[in-house]
Amino acid sequence: MIRLIAAALVASTALLPGAARAAQSPPRAPEATGWGGAVSSIDPDASEAGISVLRHGGNAVDAAVATAAALGVTDPFSAGVGGGGFFVHYDARTRKVSTVDGRETAPASATSDLFVENGTAIPFDQAVTSGLSVGVPGTPKTWQEVLRRWGTLSLREAMGPAERIARDGFTVDATFNKQITDNAARFTDFPATRALYLPQGTAPAVGTRFRNPDLADTYRELGRHGTSAFYNGPIGDDLLKTVRTPPVDPTSTRVVRPGDLTQADLRTYTAPVREPSRTTYRGLDVYGMAPPSSGGTTVGEALNILEGVDIGALTRTQYLHRFLEASRLSFADRNRWIGDPAFTNVPTKELLSQPFADSRACLISPDKTLTSPVAPGDPRNPTACATTGTPAPTPYEGEHTTHLTTADRWGNVVAYTLTIEQEGGNGIVVPGRGFLLNNELTDFSSTPTTPGTPDPNLPGPTKRPRSSMAPTIVLNHGKAVLAVGSPGGASIITTVLQVLTGNLDRNLPLVQAIAAPRASQRNTTTTQAEITFLATPEATALQALGHKFTPTTEIGATTGIELLNDGRWHAAAEPARRGGGAARVVRPTN
């Protein structure tokens, strides 16, 4: 059966030759409804890769890996085999939700002073564009692990569509062109990056065809030899050489520090299966990613804070006020308590308890805002309206992640967020391999965020930095009915929370909940808000309550799927953000 699927898949994904392929690009579509399964991602070619797997008998896990591998080609400045992520899976047969932690790890030699020189934190931009910032990538191991546990295809078969896209090319869109243009100064300083993305000194023009034959060869090698080629073989050797001796143009004046990853760091990397975070909300079970991601616990705590009020019955202003205040409080607790559970005793269960949420919810007034930064609560000893200790600030996280969601005809569902951190990662393409390296270790706190208070997110040997990725699956009486996620750094959490409450409480159709103007409060003095949000009458009303806003162009780029009452899948993506997403179903009915 698997061979038949693979043969059909290869035939269906053979790309058209020459100009014919360049002239055709799958359309973007913010929503699709139908039978047989669904895929939603930010990119049409990637969504088509996933749908082709479903059409030929693959399941949601197979489709997720195929989509993710294709995103590594067409959205390489957000994700790829040089990065990591978090994978949430719902098994329709067992009705169980499981998660795989593909977060990058620091080298065994890392200390809490990884980004400190002469007692001072290294400038952030220099920390990003360096070998120091590169964690052991988790994406290849994640793909192998999820296919082994729940998939039906081999790694080679699942990566087949992406290999073909990399070899034969895809059509450059405005987002791809802009991301290269925005990074041109640092990309120019690395010959391999420059040769791939600035071949004539400028970004490839919109509408032209872009090929990445080195990445196609890397995918082929991974498919033939498995992830041992990456973690204990020639791909890993090239990666280590790049990290330890960054290939900088000799004429560049950029300071690029080497990293200290070793073969042992690669060889001993694991992508563990972890228990998901879980909370109940309005009779539904909400599952997410537990630490080292803060996504599941922070979204879950905020939902618990909101549970005591019927926010569906409130005015839109009061709904948004409650949403922003719940975000503010849950971020105060996230910043104090969340880190890598292998190094920090994270009170996950207590953070997600309703008594703790109630002790925080009573701080919210309908008439005025809290003043940020709010001090955290003590989840192990919840006391009504009490705070404890010193507020911990929310460190910056790179916003250019990507998220995909898949579902199949059997009811299995995947929510998968993956990243290389900054837009373009650390800026360095591994020579001859065609993929960018991550800068995930800059998600650690460079120095203690609050002197005198334990910081759970300082660097350490083999430690995983705290993340905000929040792939989320919602169950109703044991059946997966909704899955969402988003890129956006720390704003991922608030984006997912806003989409969930918009859909579940405010009865917005999923695509409208995704398209709604966004604001993101992360226990800071001002709330980041899209310009479209600031143009609403509610923004003025919120300012009268004490909310202060900082404008931004856009927040996040959500994808999601939902199960309709008649059994059809509805896939939804952004109508406009990042140029719009690509929702697909196997057999459309709309």
Query: In 518-576, where do the E strands start and end?
Result: 519-520, 527-530, 549-552, 559-563, 569-573
Per-residue pLDDT at 509: 97
The three-state secondary structure class of 441 is: helix
Compute and round to an integer the Cα radius of gyration of the chain: 22
Active site residue 67: no
Between CA 500 and CA 552 the distance in angstroms is: 22
Rounded CA gap, 460 and 573, in Å?
Answer: 37
**pLDDT at res. 389:** 76
Contact 275, 290 (CB under 8 A): yes
Kindly tell me the sign of the dihedral angle through the C-alpha atoms of 247, 241, 179, 493: negative
CA distances from 227 to 108, 125, 140, 155, 406 (A): 21, 31, 6, 9, 23
Residue of 67, 74, 348, 401 marked active site: 401
pTM: 0.95
Beta bridge partners of 528: 520, 550
Cβ(215)–Cβ(168) below 8 Å = no
- What pLDDT, on a 0 to 100 scale, did the predictor assign at position 446? 87
Q: Which positions of the chain have pLDDT values less than 50? A: 1-7, 10-23
The b-or-e profile of 445-484 (16+ CB within 10 A means b, else e) is: bbeebbeeeebbbbbbebbbbbbbbbbbbbbeeeebbbbb
Q: Are strands 527-530 and 549-552 parallel, antiparallel or unpaired?
A: parallel
Q: Which residues pair with 415 in a beta bridge?
A: 88, 405
Strand, coil or helix: 384? coil
Closest to 79 measured CA to CA, from 553, 433, 487: 487
pLDDT at position 416 is 98
- Is 406 in a helix, a strand, or coil? strand
Asked whether the CA dihedral 108, 111, 115, 117 is positive or negative, the reply is negative
CA distance 80 to 71: 7
At 165, give phi and psi (nearest 5°). -65, -45
Number of other residues whose CB lies within 10 A of the CB of residue 65? 31
- In angstroms, the CA 5 to CA 10 distance is 9
Conformation bin of residue 342: beta by default, left when phi > 0, alpha when psi is -120 to 50? alpha
Q: Is 388 helix (H, G, I), strand (E, B) or coil?
A: coil
Q: Which domains does the chain have, with CATH numbers?
A: 1-110+121-289+397-519+556-590 (3.60.20.40)
Helix (H) or strand (E) holding 184: helix 184-188
Pull the structure tokens for residue 344: 């920090």
Whether the bond between 373 and the residue before it is cis, its omega within 30 degrees of 0, is: yes
